[in-house]
Structure 1
């Protein structure tokens, strides 16, 4: 399993990425207004699914939001489900 240290924040592309061999998993976001991150899309290659990679990306995105004073919203259903299941992040919700 990869560690959070392997996750890169590519601010230019508004995404967090994790290299998995020759493929990448990603968590994309938008900034619909100042101080708000909207997590819009999560992608994990099919052969890497079921290993918690999406959750790693989401946690890293939420850590980033908290560290930089952002509120979050989730138009991505995977992130929305994660936030419903992990109430410790409720204070970040917009």
Structure 2
């Protein structure tokens, strides 16, 4: 699954167990996870320094959550960026494990 919003694209790299956000074709960051028995543990989100301050973590995490929801997978928020996103976006509370 992928989403392209103008110059921003988010893709799910299942082999590396991460969601990757790119700007104008250049990888700008990722959110990685570990699969549990019935959930996906998001444990690390990184936006490269040269792309910080552009609001990229929100569309990255939103896409990862929407993709997980579509697959029927609940999430665990071990990553502080993921936990903060859930606090700001209560519509994703139902995904929490």
Class of the TM-score when normalised by the shorter of the 2 chains: 0.7 to 0.9
Q: Name the structure 2 match of 1:75.
A: 78
Larger helix percent: 1
TM-score by length of 1: 0.87
> Which ranges of structure 1 fall in alignment gaps of 5 or more residues?
none
Question: 1:35·1:69 contact (CA, 8 Å) conserved in 2?
Answer: no
**In the alignment, is residue 93 of structure 1 matched against residue 78 of structure 2?**
no
Change (3 A) 1:23 1:29: same
2:52 matched residue in structure 1? 49
C-alpha deviation, 1:51, in angstroms: 1.3
> What is the TM-score when the length of structure 2 is the normalising length?
0.85
Which structure is higher in strand share? 2
C-alpha distance in structure 2 between counterparts of 1:3 and 1:40, whole Å: 25
